Amino acid sequence: MNIKAAAVTLRQNAWAPTFAPRFRSTWLRFGMLAAPHLRLTQRRGFLTFFLQKKQNLFCRMMISCADIACGNFEIDGETVADQTIAKYLNELTILTMLRVQGQASRIEIARHLSVTPATITRLVNNLIERGLVQDVELANADRQTAREPGRPATNVALNAAGAFFFGVEVGVEIIRFALVDLAANVVQTIERPFHNQMSPERVASEIGRQVNKLKKNPIYSDNLKGVGIAFPGIVRSDGFVVNLPLVGWRNVDFPNLLSQHIDLPFFIENDANAGAFGCVYNDPSLPNACNLFLKLDVGCGGAAIVDGRLLRGANGTAGEFGHLRLSDDGPLCGCGNRGCLESKIGLGAIARQFLGVHDLSNIELAHLPERIVEAARNGDIRALETMDSFTHWLALGLVSLVNLYNPSIIFLGGPVAKLAQAAVDRISQRVRDGVVSGIPAPTLMFSALDAFEGAIGAASIAHHHTFDISRVGVIGAR
């Protein structure tokens, strides 16, 4: 097939990996991509598929719905009987099933996919050859019921060491790193203080240094599949950093900088998006129809996850829950407005109310919530007033979010979540009393990922982009 003849009209969207600018124009013109990816876009009764071919060339395919079932595809006038797409989707489905539900027999996988046992045998064997899954022996009690005719009594399980994903969270004067495996288990976490100026160039260089250090380790060298990076501010879908007020960055083409240091696919996110995604992705037992996440720190970010996917908005900047306008007055927020939720419940606001100052060191700010909780338990009037104010404004913000999104769960993360944890019953009651009648109040939960929630979430996003079936979807034409 003539690649140049394949007219490709793509728009960069929330599911596209981030690429160096020098590749971007070529990708847009000829469908060339630097990482495995699949996108389904519904247009004029057809489905446009972008399928990875050899040498990372993605070709445009116009496929009717009937052709999908039988595997006959037309590419620029040529009819091709090709099962590559079905195979790819089935493999993603198997990997997602094993991650979410645990090990399963081949018969159970065949039923889940509605395919024949022979097809499952081929798919599983291919995944075993690639080191992504493995056969595991059953316990004696399960052997008789699970045994398939002619086969030993085994189940198929993820090979957790078959792939690894590196996550990075850029904070204020600190960078945190996390490594997760194919089963989305956290393998290791580290943090590096950045006492000097955190310039984009230095941060990109440090990320490259950590990635290359991992690649020199024989355990990870061939199995490091992707990198996720989380930033505390507004980031576009293509990874372009719009504004990070907490670290003083504005309009930074970070994908271009990072591509000079690493040669792996990478995915750049807002830190609240990453934290939210990590909470849900790392606990598949949770409902995922609609969950919200609020990161309570110096800043106050947020994210919504709908049907297992981040709700990003038109340009990838959705979820700035900290800038809900709750009043017309009050201290000036970092965004330049007054009355934002962040200016009421952020660490700076809490320090100002409890201590009368807001310019504490980062270490002092980090320990302030625990200090306030302890003082409130001992009956300190100033601490009790600070807790009451925090509870009032947080509940007011949550009521607006519940009325807008109708979530099942609201996760609270970040250091200030300790204040919310100490007053969770009061906050929950105020939310129940404040939402529109008929809208059920959500469950308030607290992130179990602690200080590394952003880095773990960023690694989980890289995992999701590479091996999770829920990232493949159909969207309406625009």
Taking residues 378-387, report their average pLDDT: 95
Q: Can you give the pLDDT at residue 463?
A: 95
The answer for residues whose C-beta is within 8 angstroms of residue 31's C-beta and 6 or more apart is 3, 6, 8, 10, 50, 57, 58, 59, 60
Query: Which candidate, 307, 315, 289, places its Cα nearest to that of 237?
Result: 315
Percentage, residues of the chain above pLDDT 70: 77
Check whether 294 has a pLDDT greater than 70.
Answer: yes
Confidence of residue 185 (pLDDT cuts 50, 70, 90): very high
> Over the chain, what is the mean pLDDT?
79
Confidence of residue 143 (pLDDT cuts 50, 70, 90): low
Percentage, residues of the chain above pLDDT 90: 51
Q: Are 310 and 303 in contact (CB under 8 A)?
A: yes
Taking residues 261-282, report their average pLDDT: 90
Choose between 278 and 47: higher pLDDT: 278
Q: Can you give the pLDDT at residue 260?
A: 95
The answer for residues whose C-beta is within 8 angstroms of residue 70's C-beta and 6 or more apart is none
Q: Can you give the pLDDT at residue 477?
A: 30
Confidence of residue 329 (pLDDT cuts 50, 70, 90): confident
Q: Can you give the pLDDT at residue 266?
A: 95
The answer for residues whose C-beta is within 8 angstroms of residue 463's C-beta and 6 or more apart is 163, 165, 180, 182, 184, 226, 281
Choose between 263 and 10: higher pLDDT: 263
What is the Cα–Cα distance from 109 to 156, expressed in whole angstroms?
9
Query: At CA 313, angle to CA 166 and CA 24, rounded to 5?
Result: 60
Check whether 461 has a pLDDT greater than 80.
Answer: yes
Confidence of residue 55 (pLDDT cuts 50, 70, 90): very low
Confidence of residue 2 (pLDDT cuts 50, 70, 90): very low
Choose between 106 and 43: higher pLDDT: 106
Choose between 140 and 460: higher pLDDT: 460
Number of alpha helices (DSSP H) and beta strands (DSSP E) in the chain? 16, 21
| Residue 425: count of CB within 10 angstroms of its CB | 9
Beta bridge partners of 138: none
Check whether 10 has a pLDDT greater than 80.
Answer: no
Q: Can you give the pLDDT at residue 445?
A: 94
Confidence of residue 317 (pLDDT cuts 50, 70, 90): confident
Starting at the edge strand found earlier in the chain, the sheet holding 249-252 runs: 234-235, 241-244, 249-252
Confidence of residue 104 (pLDDT cuts 50, 70, 90): very high
- Most confidently predicted of 38-52, 81-95, 341-355: 341-355
Q: What is the pLDDT of residues 129-142, one digit of tens each?
A: 999 999 998 765 45
Please state the pTM of the whole predicted model.
Answer: 0.74
78-81 and 72-75 strand pairing: antiparallel
Q: Can you give the pLDDT at residue 150?
A: 55
What is the Cα–Cα distance from 161 to 418, expressed in whole angstroms?
35
Check whether 60 has a pLDDT greater than 60.
Answer: no
| Residue 71: count of CB within 10 angstroms of its CB | 15
Tokens of 123: 């798919």
Check whether 72 has a pLDDT greater than 70.
Answer: no
The answer for residues whose C-beta is within 8 angstroms of residue 395's C-beta and 6 or more apart is 426, 427, 430, 431, 434
Taking residues 43-56, report their average pLDDT: 35
266: phi then psi, degrees, rounded to nearest 5 = -135, 155
- What DSSP state is assigned to residue 469? G
Q: How far apart are the first and last CA of the chain?
A: 28
- Most confidently predicted of 66-75, 200-209, 277-286, 331-340: 200-209
Choose between 67 and 101: higher pLDDT: 101
User: Residue 413 in 3-state DSSP?
Assistant: strand
Q: What is the pLDDT of residues 208-229, one digit of tens each?
A: 999 999 999 999 988 999 999 9
Check whether 48 has a pLDDT greater than 50.
Answer: no
- Residues for the chain: how many in total? 478
Q: Are 158 and 148 in contact (CB under 8 A)?
A: no
Check whether 304 has a pLDDT greater than 60.
Answer: yes
Check whether 36 has a pLDDT greater than 50.
Answer: no
Taking residues 393-405, report their average pLDDT: 95
Check whether 462 has a pLDDT greater than 60.
Answer: yes
Kindly report which listed range (68-82, 154-168, 191-205, 427-441) carries the lowest average pLDDT score: 68-82
Taking residues 220-248, report their average pLDDT: 90
Beta bridge partners of 57: 32
Kindly report which listed range (13-27, 187-201, 235-249, 268-282) carries the lowest average pLDDT score: 13-27
Taking residues 257-267, report their average pLDDT: 94
Kindly report which listed range (112-121, 315-324, 384-393) carries the lowest average pLDDT score: 315-324
Q: Can you give the pLDDT at residue 73?
A: 40
* Torsion, CA 249, CA 255, CA 261, CA 262, rounded to 10: 140
Confidence of residue 189 (pLDDT cuts 50, 70, 90): very high
What is the Cα–Cα distance from 199 to 205, expressed in whole angstroms?
10
Taking residues 247-268, report their average pLDDT: 93
User: Residue 61 in 3-state DSSP?
Assistant: strand
Q: Are 427 and 445 in contact (CB under 8 A)?
A: no
Q: Give just the sign of the alpha carbon dihedral 390, 391, 396, 400.
A: positive
